[in-house]
Structure formats: C-alpha cells, structure tokens
Amino acid sequence: MGGDSKGISRRGLLTGGAAIGAAGAAVAATPRHDGERGGPPQAIRGDVPWAEGAADAPPAAAPGKGYVWFTGAEGPLVEAMVDRLIPPDPTGPGAVEAGVPIFIDRQLAGQFGQGQHFYLGGPWPKGAPEQGYQSRFTPAQFYRAALKSIADHVFRTYGGLDFKALQADVKDQLLKDLEAGKLELPDGVDGKGFFAMLLQNTKEGYFCDPIYGGNRDMAAWKMIGFPGAHYNYRDWVSRHNQRVPFPPVAFKGRPGWTAS
C-alpha cells in the first residue's frame, strides 16, 4: 500500500451452431461413446437435448439500485474502504465510481458468498499464508463478522466516529494495519485474512465484465485499453504489443453496438 495521504497508488495496487433439419425430420447428432457403461456409441435423435444459446452469457447481477446483501452500515463501510484501495484520480475511476461495492454485494448474495465451491469442513487449524483462505465460515459470514468488528474497533478507538468520517491518512493506516496483521479486531476476527479477501474482491469488481455489477461503463477496460469480449481476435494472435483499436465490448455488447 502507498504511504501518502492521498491514498494508495493506483500503479502500486494494480500492477450456436448450424440450423438442424426441416420440421418433422429425424435428426442425428454426433455419436458419443457411452464410456461409463461400456456400451457402443450412441446417437441423439429428434430434438437436441439443450436449448440454443443457453450457455452464451452468465447470469447478470440483480438489476436495480441499492444493496441486496449489505445491511445497515455495512455498505457505506465497504464503500469507504474500497475507495481508499482504488481512489479516483485523473487516470481512471475509483472503486466506488466503478461499482465495486455493488459487485461485492451481489457476489456475497450468491454462490461465492455461500461458499459453494469452498471446503468448509474441519479440522480448522490456522493455515500457512500460502494455503489461502482457511476458515469454517463462508465468505458472506466472514464479511459480516469482519465488518462488524472493524466498525466496533473504529467506534471505540476514535470517539464514536465511523470509518467513513475518519481522515484519509487515518483510514489508510487502519487498512495498512489490517494488511500487516497488526490490528487486533474484537471477537477474534482475522483482520489480515479479511483484508486479503477484500483486496482480491475489489480488484475483481474493478476489472470484471459489467454484467456482474462492477467495472461500470467498462471504464476500467477503457483505462487499460482492454477490448473485452469481441467475437474473436484471430487477426491479432501474432501481433504482439500492438494496441487493439476497438472500443471495449462486454458480454451484453456496448452502447451503439449493432450486429451485422
């Protein structure tokens, strides 16, 4: 993390298919080998067993304004923290402007927050840093406990103030202490582990496809010159270190985009 009162340095932080047959005609798909039962190759006849375009795009973040998982003061606290991790400057938007808190909120309300792909069974000895996230709690539970502990610590330490009301340099020092594991939070919450998750989620939300709620208006992609989800880049495979002169396109297209 950077050390000046203007916040953390941005540079330091961010280093289907063909149509099938005529109506009523029997259709045979490519044979497949039934390896599990050891049977002969099988053919699919009649209607194909999938819906055309079903896998073309991931589910979008829940529409509408406001938070769906953060409650009470949680949203403003996350906003104030990520705004110091990626503050706005002439180079590009800050994390709040880019929609990072919305991205985190929607992720915590979904499969990531539920720890659907995490192993949460015991035992739970303290893991080594290189082992990554080691906890019995889902990310959503971890966020809820950590945000409460941080809010309680700030309230007790700074005369009833909340994190958002602190001076920028004080906010930065608190975040540095979290990152270094120097800040002992109430209820035994792992502040260093929480900072690592918050920082990772902040970067994910800043550079994600806008369909997930972050990278609003593809501003982060525009800042770094990333062209996004164009159909293909075959003409550019061998053209190293050359700028792709196309405006960025997200999963759902871009303003002014039309299919030819």
What are the tens digits of pLDDT across the range 197-245?
Answer: 999 999 999 999 999 999 999 999 999 999 998 888 888 889 988 888 8
233 found inside a domain? no
The residue segments making up the domain with residue 194 are: 73-116+134-223
Q: Say how many C-beta atoms besides its own lie within 10 A of residue 2's C-beta.
A: 16
At 147-174, the pLDDT tens digits run 999 999 999 999 999 999 999 999 999 9
Cβ atoms 215, 252 nearer than 8 A = no
- When mean pLDDT is compared across 43-47, 135-139, 181-185, 228-232, the lowest value belongs to 43-47
Phi, psi for residue 27 in degrees, rounded to 5? -120, 135
Write the CB contacts of 47 (distance below 8 Å, at least 6 apart in sequence): 27
| Interior angle at CA 115, CA 114 and CA 121, nearest 5 | 120
Read off φ and ψ for residue 165, nearest 5 degrees. -85, -5
Number of domains in the chain: 1
Domain membership flag for residue 190:
yes
Tell me, yes or no, whether 103 lies in a domain. Answer: yes
Average pLDDT over residues 4-13: 53
- Could you tell me if residue 200 is inside a domain? yes
- Residues 101-129 pLDDT 10s: 999 999 999 999 999 888 888 888 877 87
Q: Which two tokens stand for residue 41?
A: 């190759």
In a domain, 160, yes or no: yes
pLDDT value at residue 19: 37
pLDDT in tens, 47-99: 666 666 565 556 667 656 689 999 989 999 999 999 999 999 999 999 999 99
pLDDT grade for 22, boundaries at 50, 70 and 90: very low
Establish if 23 belongs to a structural domain.
no
240 within a domain of the structure (yes/no): no
Q: Tell me the average pLDDT across 135-141.
A: 91
Domain assignment present for 210: yes
